[in-house]
Amino acid sequence: MDTKVINVQADFPILNQQVNDERLVYLDNAATAQKPLVVTESLDKFYHTDNANVHRGVHTLAERATAAYEAARSKVKNFINANEAAEVIFTKGTTDGLNMLASTYGEQNIHEGDEIVISIMEHHSNLIPWQQLAIRKHATLKYIGLTAEGELDLVDAAAKITNRTKIVSIAHASNVMGTINPIKELANLAHEVGAIIIVDGAQAIPHIAVDVQKLDVDFYAFSGHKMMGPTGIGVLYGKHELLDQMNPYQFGGEMIDFVYQQKSTWTQLPWKFEAGTQNIAGAIGLGTAVDYLTDIGMESVAQHEQQIVDYLLPKLVADDAIEVYGPKNPQKHSGVIAFNLKGIHPHDLATALDMEGVAVRAGHHCAQPLMEYLGVVATARASFYLYNTKEDVDSFLNALTETKEFFNHGTSKAK
């Protein structure tokens, strides 16, 4: 594995602990990633030396805070290769960004009889806003299905995206299936019929290089906490001409140009969509996380995680006691692996793994329509990031063995 990536473990002090008398193996990265010291230190620095509100203030602390906040926006702009910094809107996270789009672009552009197309693998955050918009507007919500291998069915996508489609909203990478979707091809299908494409990038942006211009996406939403930034901060990228046409999402300080008694005018992008005091420290911390990932290199991150999947996935697939959901080919699989141990409820499995120091998630993963599609109530999920190692994988596999033995024989290893 890439030694440059492996060596970052020392940057994450939270990993240097024991859980239930075992070395912590953190495999819940799809839910949230751990934070390197440089990120937490950047928060401390802001609060200890530069804490002030941004913009409009003319005193020194306000100017320093504003410079750091806007520098973070520029870092994100470069990280995703947006055309300009004004196309980067700070949000609370992916969910906030997608809801913003449904409440602004969707409300303005969806009418009775229009179609919105998503996929059956979507996280609730990229499903419910469109579901509720379709209900309000008497529009039709359509779902793209999956192939037998657990990949997005492009033939079905081409059939579902029609001249009545106005919005296509798709996850770049599934938070359950481990599937990486062909966003560029979907963007082409959407644009051919005059629709826009919105991408939920929460599970992709931390793990692979994303170029919004090459993908030709109209909007791209992601969360800071999944890419080692603070919680409560995220980004909505949008093409300038589309953002410019949209109504504000919220009203108040920062987003106004001038307020009269009976009407108001709005300021320019990106601040038109950043009402009130934003998560200034969070944005600065996100900028530091972007620096950290940029220094390592997203190609190195992707290569490291691919090596983990190449090592682990065939072992899980070959085990008759384990059911793996999503593509079985490691080359078509991200570092998110959903699975079940046959005959054991996922919650019991996750609890047993935790007793071995291995942190995984269990449940429907905010994807209940997908669970129904797969014919299960819930799954366990192990998800990997750049600080996970082959040793972590081996610990996970050993914990699975211990769990099978416990449930099959009623015994577990002595603590």
- The residues that are catalytic are 366
The rounded distance, in Å, linking the Cα atoms of 185 and 154 is 9
Give the separation between CA 370 and CA 127, rounded to whole angstroms.
11
Asked if 145 contacts 120 with a C-beta cutoff of 8 angstroms, the reply is: yes
Q: Is 374 left (phi over 0), alpha (psi -120 to 50) or beta?
A: alpha
Please say whether the beta carbons of 183 and 199 come within 8 A. Answer: yes
Q: Catalogue the long-range contacts made by 330-334 (C-beta closer than 8 Å, 24 or more residues apart).
A: 330/306, 331/306, 332/149, 332/151, 332/179, 332/180, 333/178, 333/179, 333/180, 333/309, 334/173, 334/174, 334/178, 334/179, 334/180, 334/203, 334/204, 334/207, 334/305, 334/309
Burial class (CB in 10 A: 0-12, 13-18, 19+), 156: middle
Taking alpha carbons only, the member of 138, 248, 119, 100 closest to residue 177 is 119
* Burial (Cβ within 10 Å: 0-12, 13-18, ≥19) of residue 318: exposed
The token pair that represents 146 in the structure block = 């999956």
In order of 6, 91, 222, 353, the CA distances from 397 in angstroms are 19, 38, 31, 10
* Dihedral pair phi/psi, residue 402, rounded to 5°: -60, -40
CA–CA distances in Å: residue 210 to residues 206, 335, 362:
9, 16, 28
Question: Hey, CA dihedral for 185, 186, 189, 190, is it positive or negative?
Answer: negative
